[in-house]
Structure 1
Amino acid sequence: MDAREFAGAWAKAWNAHDLDALLAHFTDDVVFTSPVAAQLIGTAVIRGKDALRAYWSEGLRRIPDLRFEVVGVYSGVDTVVINYRNQKGGLVNEVLHFDGPLVREGHGTYLGDFTNPAGAKD
């Protein structure tokens, strides 16, 4: 897998608000964590592709101007980190652990205060 190519497709899908394209990269039993999820849906841990779709759908509903600009892409062993700037200018890292070609675990990480991560709507 080419990490930069993946990050480009990831950003393109997010910016198009294309959940089907995004979710095609995740295993059915994916686990995803995010402090923004805790704010939007009341839990920081999302288990399964259907739950991830529900979280991201709610995020897009509540943040209709959501847009990401990739700043950097970092590769590790079965891991890609996408550093990006969101629509509010906040810096975010998406840490993605792969099982073959699909993401099995992901973590949204935010610069600063975990109780009000940059880019989350108040």
Structure 2
Amino acid sequence: MTNLDPAVFAAEWCSAWNAHDLNRVLEHFHDDVVFTSPVAAGLFPETGGVMRGKAALRAYWEEGLRRIPDLHFTIETVFAGIGTVVIQYLNQKGVSVCEVLIFDGAQVCAGHGTYPTHVDNPAGTGG
């Protein structure tokens, strides 16, 4: 995560998502990224919610954007750790969600979409 400003990264991440520009979102991810999400498990049950590689992640997020044409995020808080950034945001449904992103250098090598336990159906989120 050398020279990465977590707030700047989160702002760019949010801007790319709000523009529905997957190329911009995915440019921050390693080709061999591993991303987990309960929403992915619902859309692609055969994966168990684990998307392996940028191509699989693109397929997941393309399907998400297809199903959620009004997708929009508003950042609430950005947390920084050692090689880790957590972006807490509101989705278009007003649900607070966290994206946990683990970096190898300047790119995300692993990520996790996490959702409040009281939300029965987290679909409609980016992660």
TM-score band (shorter)? over 0.9
Question: Which range moves more in the overlay, 64-73 or 108-117?
Answer: 108-117
Local SS of the residue matching 2:70: coil
Equivalences, count: 120
- 1:114 and 1:41 map into 2 onto residues whose CA distance is 20
- 2:21 and 2:99 map into 1 onto residues whose CA distance is 17
Note if 1:91 corresponds to 2:108: no
Aligned to 1:3: 6
Contact 2:34–2:52 (Cα < 8 Å) also in 1: yes
Q: 5+ unaligned residues in a row in structure 2: which ranges?
A: none
Displacement of 1:9 in angstroms is 0.1
Q: TM-score, normalised by structure 1?
A: 0.94
Contact 2:33–2:108 (Cα < 8 Å) also in 1: yes
Structure 1 residues 115 and 30: CA distance shift in structure 2, 3 A = farther
Q: RCO higher in 1 or 2 (8 Å CA, sep ≥ 6)? A: 2
Pick the aligned partner of 1:35 from 21, 24, 38.
Answer: 38
Displacement of 1:109 in angstroms is 0.2
Note if 1:62 corresponds to 2:71: no
Aligned to 1:106: 111
Moved over 2 A (4+): 113-120
Contact 1:90–1:118 (Cα < 8 Å) also in 2: no
Local SS of the residue matching 2:34: strand
